[in-house]
Chain A
Amino acid sequence: MSNPKPIIGVLALQGAVELHKAHIEACGAEYLAVKTPAHFAQVDAFILPGGESTTMLKLIERFNLWDSLAKEFSKKPVWGICAGSILMASKVISPAQKAFGLLPITIERNGYGRQLESCHVQILGYEVSFIRAPIITEISDDVEILSQYDNKPVWVQLGNKIASTFHPELNKQYPSPMHKYFVDLVRENA
Chain B
Amino acid sequence: MGKNSSSSGVINIKTGLAEMLKGGVIMDVVTAEQAKIAEGAGAIAVMALERVPSDIRKDGGVARMSPPDLIEEIMAVSSIPVMAKCRIGHFAEAQLLESIGVDYIDESEVLTPADEEYHINKHDYKVPFVCGAKNLGEALRRIGEGAALMRTKGEPGTGNIVEAVRHMRRINAEIKHVCNIDEAELMTLARDMGAPFELLQLVRKEGKLPVPNFAAGGIATPADAALCMQLGAESVFVGSGIFKSDNPDKFAKAIVKATAHFDDPAIVLEASKELGGVAMRGTEISEIDEPMLMANRGW
- Taking beta carbons and an 8 Å cutoff, which residues of A are in contact with B? 12-19, 35, 50-52, 54-55, 58-59, 62-63, 82-83, 94-95, 109-110, 112, 114-122, 127, 129-132, 149-150, 167, 170-173
Contact = CB atoms under 8 A, between A and B. Distances in A.
13 contacts: A14-B22, A15-B20, A51-B24, A58-B41, A115-B128, A116-B101, A117-B1, A118-B4, A119-B13, A120-B4, A120-B13, A130-B1, A132-B81
A52 B10 contact: no
B44 interface: yes
Contact of B253 (A62, A150, A172): A62
Interface stretch (B62-70, B130-138, B255-263): B255-263
B286 interface: no
Interface string B205-245: 00000000000000000000000000000000000000000
Nearest to A109: B79
A119 to B, nearest CB: 4
Given A52-B20, A131-B16, A132-B81, 12 more contacts: A12-B23, A14-B23, A52-B21, A52-B45, A52-B80, A54-B42, A58-B42, A82-B20, A118-B17, A119-B1, A121-B1, A121-B3
Contacts of A94: 79
B7 interface: yes
B177 interface: no
Nearest to A58: B42
B188 interface: no
A55 B80 contact: yes
A54 B10 contact: no
Nearest to A171: B10
A18 B20 CA distance: 11
A52 B1 contact: no
A65 to B, nearest CB: 11
B24 A118 contact: no
Contacts of A52: 20-21, 24, 44-45, 80-81
A116 B100 CA distance: 10
A12 B13 CA distance: 22
Given A13-B260, A16-B20, A115-B81, A170 B3 contact: no
B79 A95 contact: yes
Contacts of B23: 12-15, 17, 51
Which 3 A/B pairs are nearest by Cβ-Cβ distance?
A121-B2, A115-B103, A119-B2
A58 B126 CA distance: 31
Interface string B1-33: 111111101110100110111111000000000
A170 B10 contact: yes
Nearest to A121: B2
Interface in B52-80: 79-80
B80 A120 contact: no
Given A52-B80, A119-B3, A114 B101 contact: yes
A16 B19 contact: yes
B65 to A, nearest CB: 18
A118 B16 CA distance: 9
Contacts of B41: 58
B39 interface: yes
A139 to B, nearest CB: 20
A35 B126 CA distance: 35
Contacts of A129: 6, 10-11, 13, 16
A95 B288 CA distance: 44
Given A115-B103, A118-B17, A120-B13, A51 B44 contact: yes
Contact of B260 (A14, A119, A167, A173): A14
B81 A120 contact: no
Contacts of A173: 9
Contacts of B21: 51-52
Contacts of A172: 9-11
A35 B10 CA distance: 27
A162 B9 CA distance: 25
Nearest to B235: A14
Contact of A120 (B3, B45, B126, B261): B3
Contact of A132 (B3, B103, B261): B103
A51 B81 contact: no
B114 to A, nearest CB: 23
Contacts of A115: 17, 81, 102-104, 127-128
A15 B22 contact: yes
Nearest to B4: A119
A63 B81 CA distance: 24
A114 B22 contact: no
Contacts of B79: 54, 94-95, 109-110
